[in-house]
Amino acid sequence: MLFHTAQYAVFLAVVLGLSGLLIRHRKAREAMLLFASWIFYAAWNVKYLGLILFSTVLDYVIGAEIYRSDSPRERKLLLIVSLVGNLGILGVFKYYGFFVENIDTLFQLFGLHPSLPALKVILPVGISFYTFQSMSYTIDIYRGDLEPRKSLMEFALFVAFFPQLVAGPIVRAREFLPQLDRKPGATSHQTGTGIYLILKGLIKKVLIGDVLAVYVVDPVFANPAGYGALAIAAAIYGFKFQIYNDFSGYSDIAIGTGRLLGYDFPINFRSPYKAPSIIDYWRRWHITMGSWFRDYVFFPLGGSKGGLGRICINTLITMGLVGLWHGAAWTFVLWGSYHGVLLTLSIVKRHMATRLRGDAPAGPEEWSPAGHLLRVAIVFHLTLIGGLIFRSTSLAAIGQMWTSIRIHGVGPGVSAEFLLLILFAFVLHFTPERWKAQIENTFSDLPAVVQGVIAALVIGLIATAMSTAQPYYYFQF
């Protein structure tokens, strides 16, 4: 059930209506939201609903046992069971085929031809998201940062809550569960901003991301040999804005839907292409995933403790795993490692600058406007290279692009209207944040009737572009 379909609109309307009817009955309302969330996921494939139920029961029981136990050894063993159970499911469904294929290739290099068992399974939608959410619960209890939830239903709602179930943001238990204790229902501000975020997300997803995918990005990446430099450049830049508008648009819809139901999710994107450093970029891009890997991978490895070499190794390992989290392919591992190298170089540069200056290196407040703009441009194009790696199906496909440029030269380009769309996406992204905040606040303060009229106009506009609508890009991860 995709957010930008009529099916989801009807589903959401029914859920909001039932939520309003049950607003005075908190437990009944939570039960309805849980049941609705299971229906939402089952609409994709009912067979895989059992995976969510398994993770839910596993971590609910283990979380309670960890909290009750006074034995450090027993607590650690219970945590390991949780991690093995969750990561085991993720490994089987997402990575088994990848590892078998590579092990088979490795054996063939030595003239061996083993018959490794194949496993033909469909990747469950959202498994990378809800698995990480569920694991955060037991890890936080183990660390003493969270008390277990007494109600299985409330914990199950946290794991399966439909707005962010399949696409994020990755919500932690300590961020969501306390909200179940407050008075249910959305405030007027939550309702206004929720509607605004849903409309903004639909515009970004359908009118920008999907159109760029259909008319600019996908044709070139599918057949790079048929295009010249202009079209290939348009596709590379176009993908940069396609992936952002697709992913951040879906996150906006998820956050907006949560607000309509009275729940606040953490922000997932904060204009990442404005970042003046690669470190800042990762503070702005897919924020909830980045913070998850920071807290549950980077810090346990030692984080920033120890010498410079140890910090760099921790960074490279973490980013390699970030790449692997995105998909079972070497291009994703390479993409994560590429960003790991960029981050490592930034850390080394900052360390050397501190040693030479004797204090912290110059920050944004000390940069000239031209210097700041230059840094933003450099970081943007460094991540543009990463985007090319991310989107390509193989390194050979990247090579085909360069070969095509040599053969065709400038070659046939892309229609002017789609170049204008890339330019529009660029301008929209780099609009000052205070302007964006002012527009959101102005919309949320409008009378409900006016909000409804604007929503109808936007939905009508989006309906005209539904022929180009695409599935959410991150469903494959």
- For residue 286, give the nearest of 330, 328, 236, 323 by alpha carbon: 323
* Omega before residue 169 within 30° of 0, cis: yes
Question: What tokens were used for 435?
Answer: 């302007």
Question: What tokens were used for 29?
Answer: 């309302």
Integer Cα distance of 220 and 227 in angstroms: 7
Integer Cα distance of 192 and 186 in angstroms: 10
Integer Cα distance of 91 and 232 in angstroms: 35
Among this protein's residues, is 326 annotated catalytic?
A: yes
Integer Cα distance of 325 and 289 in angstroms: 10
Do 254 and 169 meet the contact criterion of CB atoms below 8 Å apart?
yes
Which residues are CB-contacts of 96 (< 8 A; sequence separation ≥ 6)? 119, 121
CA 433 to each of CA 252, 268, 334, 396, 442: distance values in angstroms, whole numbers, following the listed order? 16, 15, 32, 40, 14
**Backbone angle region of 307, left / alpha / beta, with phi > 0 → left and psi within -120 to 50 → alpha:** beta
DSSP per-residue string spanning 330-354: HHHHHHHHHHHHHHHHHHHHHHHHH
Do 132 and 91 meet the contact criterion of CB atoms below 8 Å apart?
no
Do 322 and 354 meet the contact criterion of CB atoms below 8 Å apart?
no
From the list 326, 351, 372, 381, the catalytic residue is 326
Residues belonging to the active site: 326
